[in-house]
Structure formats: C-alpha cells, structure tokens
Amino acid sequence: MEKITAAFVRENLPSRDPYGHKGTFGKVLCICGSVGYTGAPVFASRAAVRTGSGLVFLAVPQSIWQVVAVKSDEAMPFPMPDDGAGKLNAACWQQIAARADGCDAVLCGCGLGRSIGLDELVRLALTLPKPLVLDADGINAIATHIDVLQNRRGQVTVLTPHEGEFLRMDGDLTVGRIDAAADFAEKYGVYLVLKGHETVVAAPDGRVMVNTTGNSGMAKGGSGDVLSGMVLSLLGQGMEPFAACCSAVYLHGLAGDLAAAEKGERGMTPTDLLEQIPYALVKTEK
C-alpha cells in the first residue's frame, strides 16, 4: 500500500503567487458550532487560516457568536438565527447559501450538535455546487440515510469519520481499514478520510494512500476539527481533492509530531497542533 510522504505533499501543494491577494488563495466557509461546542468552530477556522486560506468565514448560531468572535482574530464569524436551543437549523439556510455562493469550498459539521432541524440543514448543504467537507455531526446527520450521498456523485464530497462514525454510516470494517475505505469511497462517490492510527485516504476512482505521520497525543477532542479545517483550506486553494486530503492528513500528523517533540504527547493540545501547522508546511516544502 502506498504511503503518503513529504515528497508527495511537496509535489502537490499549490504554489503561492507572489503577486496574489487574499482572494487569490481561496475563500472558505465553515458551518459549525453550537452551545457547549464553541471550540470546534474555532479550531476548524483557525486551521484553515494556518493552512493558507485567504479568507475564512464562519457561520455559527447567534447564541455563541460573541464567544466565537472573541476567539477569532483572522477568521470572520457571523451570527445565524438558531433554534432557541443554541443550534443552527434549516431556517438560516438562505443566508448560509448566499455566503457559500462566494466561497470556493465549504465545511459542515464540527460541533453542530444533533437535532431534526440540523439534519435538514446538512441535507441542504449537500445541494451546494461546491467542494464540501462533512465531519462529526455533519456525518451523523446523514448516517442513517447515507444514500443521499449518491445525489452528489460527480461533485467533490469529503467525509472525515473516525471508526465509530464510519460504522454508523454502515461502513464494513471486517474487511480491514484499507479495503473498507476503498469500498465505501467507490460505492458512494466520495473522498473518504478514515481517521485513526495510519489514517486511510480513499478516492472514488480507487486510489488509496495511508498516512505515515501522527502520534497518540493527537487523540484529544479538537484534533479532528483541525484536520477538517486543513482539508477545507487545501480544497479552497484549488488542489485536486485526493491530493488535498492526503496532504492535509500528512501535514496534520506532522504538526502533531512537532507539537509532541516540544511538549510531549500527554500534555500537547489541539492549540499546540494549530501552532505547528506553519512549521509543518515549512519543513515539508524544503
């Protein structure tokens, strides 16, 4: 099985136009967060900024907007009407769709929580004609009717489940992680990032690669949100989707390795991981 290497990432990362401006390097939108989950949208949006996005927008429920805004120096959060319980729902779809229309890629799911209204919102997000990343509760919202993914066949859809979420989507791990990821990606026409030790990335055309970076210090809440933001950023910068997923996974793990080298696997945090993304990029691009 082919491994993701620094050379692979280096060859595929988009060049930075020295005459470029903030619109040159991708505009992305994160649809994330709910009461009790204010860290997830911040981790995802900061990761997109750190990975090179020019403009990062963040749609969050009105009830947590002030908290998220205080934590967001570079990303631009905007408040959306919520359901009264601190969660987004389909009532804010037109506003979100209008914002997404001006973006190059969209992420939906980190810290959204669960509700019937949210399930409807995620199904609406599947209609966006943009590269779309689904993580966490974005995945949970469609897990029991996973066939809706067939409606996006031919478009760029990335799913980033851990094994529990993969099983809820009716994924079959009895055949092993690599074959399971490959089968699922081909069946539903998606790019699958099956997280865990030696994360597997599978494309709908049969390509599969396995990651070589990362450590147990990354097994903490928030690390997955960082990865989703990194995938989003590279898609928004125009990378080929499979290369974007593989590169994000490798750089995410390398940033974790750099954080562990400095602070140890026990004590490192997703914030430490975020801070190491630029250094992972520099190390890889040399």
pLDDT digits (tens, 9 = 90+) for 151-173: 999 999 999 999 999 999 999 99
pLDDT of residue 110: 98
Asked if the structure places residue 1 within a domain, the reply is no
CA distance 168 to 147: 13
pLDDT of residue 16: 92
Tell me the per-residue pLDDT of 30-60, one tens digit each, with 9 for 90 and over: 999 999 999 999 999 999 999 999 999 999 9
pLDDT given at position 10:
98
Instruction: Label residue 103 by pLDDT band (50, 70, 90).
Output: very high
Q: What is the mean pLDDT of the chain?
A: 97
At residue 48, the pLDDT reads: 98
Q: Within a domain: residue 40?
A: yes
Which pLDDT does position 189 carry in this prediction?
98
Radius of gyration of the chain measured on its C-alpha atoms? 17
Contacts of 26 (CB under 8 A, 6+ apart): 52, 53, 54, 55, 104, 105, 233, 235, 236, 237, 238
Predicted confidence at residue 36, as pLDDT, reads 96
Asked if residue 7 has pLDDT above 80, the reply is: yes
The residue count for the chain: 286
Alpha helices, DSSP H only, in the chain?
A: 6-12, 39-50, 65-71, 93-101, 116-125, 137-140, 163-168, 177-188, 223-236, 241-263, 270-285
**Residues spanned by the domain of 279:** 6-285
pLDDT digits (tens, 9 = 90+) for 104-127: 999 999 999 999 999 999 999 999
Q: What is the mean pLDDT of residues 100-107?
A: 98
Residue 19 covered by a domain: yes
178 in a structural domain: yes
> In 3D, which of 251, 259, 260 has the Cα closest to residue 276?
259
Strand ranges of the sheet holding 27-31, from the earlier edge strand across to the other edge? 76-80, 55-61, 27-31, 105-108, 132-134, 157-159, 191-194, 200-202, 208-210
CATH assignment of the domain containing 242:
3.40.1190.20
DSSP annotation of 199: -
What's the CA gap between 72 and 106, in Å, rounded? 18
> How many domains does the chain divide into?
1
Please say if the pLDDT value at position 1 is more than 90: no
Report yes or no: 213 and 8 within 8 Å, Cβ to Cβ: no
Classify residue 46: in a domain, yes or no: yes
